[in-house]
Amino acid sequence: MPGTRPRSRLTALLAAATSAVLGAGLLAGAATASAEPAPSPTVEASAEAEAQAGSKVIGYFTEWGVYDRNYHVKNIETSGSADKLTHINYSFGNVQGGKCALGDGFAATEKAYTAEESVDGEADAWDQPLRGNFNQLLKLKELHPDLKVLWSFGGWTWSGGFTEAAKDPAAFAESCHDLVEDPRWADVFDGIDVDWEYPNACGLTCDESGPEAFGEVVSALRAEFGDDYLVTAAIPADASEGGKLDATDYAGAAQYVDWYNPMTYDYYGAWDAQGPTAPHSPLTAYEAIPDASFTTEATIAKLKEAGVPASKLLLGLGFYGRGWTGVSEAAPGGSASGPAAGVHEQGIEDYKVLKERCPATGEAGGTAYALCDGEWWSYDTPETIAGKMAFKEREGLAGTFFWELSGDTDDGELIHAID
């Protein structure tokens, strides 16, 4: 994901320093008077289960967002996002010394909230045992009893610790269970999400644990947490020959996870400072695309062909854009002089900012782009999300996930486009 996760690489580093750092529709024939018997309860239950299969809506909430971004758990409620979400991925916990560890303990468990800032309008007391994001998430779950929260570990900045963890998966899994189920916040989390960037491949650091290591880690987590907890994972979207998806046996490991979140964004960006400009989250290939394997369609096809069930794959969205400056060509494929300016990081900006600063002027590969005063940006809009939702339905995917909540508008414009 871009982030520490960074959604973006630099954001992750800054965040670390600051913090101390997608239902498959059922096709049914038209009903005819009394020509056919009513479906049995078993058939009805099966139909309901299938209809719900693609209804997962999972949003990442960033721990460090309570600082410069001023985005708090209450914003999930006031934006209407909580009514759309089925799951929240709380990011990120750290991985250190082969164990799961707290990320920013102050933000997670200690930060005091005033009545105005709190989800339920009640201020934190100075002596209450749990404050911070964790307590606010408990309050949000009280308002939305069906909402589930998973604790995501790793991310771009903290994935280096998985190499050590993979040496003793059982000990790692035990440490994660002990942390997630710590009595102080045992009611907050309903599972664990592994965000290893990347197993047997390179991200911020390189891992050489081998193609089976990821499966051994998630197998140990499933054994430790059991079937009553969710075990999920964010995985790469690189569908190129010999790329990151080929480096690990994701199909073999799929039996241990409830679902995968393929990170179908950040395919392109201003780390290639001179361009060519390209949408960072294309659904499909288009004429000028630099690499036809860098699309959501290609990623999902590769994973399904490898044997990962569609019912364990979600469609990934980015609630942000990536951009270049020094661009004169409106269509994708132009040259650039470097990354465009962003509020929090060069080359990346929230949707809520871009929709006003640089409104979309065209579409390519099923996503939007814009040229404004020499800056070229690509990002998803409610209209392009609708196209991606149609793709999700056609492919029978389990739902949608996105990075991340604070990039949306105050009234949740993007999340309300997800169905």
Active site residues: 197
Q: Please, which residues have CB within 8 angstroms of residue 410's CB and are 6 or more apart in sequence?
A: 75, 78, 79, 352
Q: Does residue 198 have a cis bond before it (omega within 30 degrees)?
A: yes
Given a contact cutoff of 8 angstroms between Cβ atoms, the answer to whether 347 and 341 are in contact is no
Render 288-331 in DSSP notation, one character per residue.
T-S-TTSSHHHHHHHHHHHT--GGGBEEEEESEEEEEES---SS
The two beta strands, 338-339 and 87-96, are unpaired
Given a contact cutoff of 8 angstroms between Cβ atoms, the answer to whether 257 and 221 are in contact is no
Least Cα distance to 202 among 231, 160, 241 occurs for: 160
Given a contact cutoff of 8 angstroms between Cβ atoms, the answer to whether 86 and 147 are in contact is yes
Residue 280 in tokens: 């960072």
Please give the Cα distance from 64 to 214 (Å, whole number): 27
Please give the Cα distance from 139 to 73 (Å, whole number): 9
Please give the Cα distance from 58 to 86 (Å, whole number): 6
Radius of gyration (C-alpha) of the chain in whole angstroms: 21
At 34, give phi and psi (nearest 5°).
-115, 25
Residue 246 in tokens: 């080929």
How many CB atoms sit inside 10 A of residue 33's CB?
5
CA dihedral 113, 118, 120, 124 (to 10 degrees): 0
Angle (CA) 144 414 290, round 5°? 135
Q: Please, which residues have CB within 8 angstroms of residue 271's CB and are 6 or more apart in sequence?
A: 9, 347
Please give the Cα distance from 72 to 82 (Å, whole number): 12
Please give the Cα distance from 264 to 330 (Å, whole number): 24
Query: What one-character DSSP code corresponds to residue 244?
Result: G
Query: What one-character DSSP code corresponds to residue 206?
Result: B
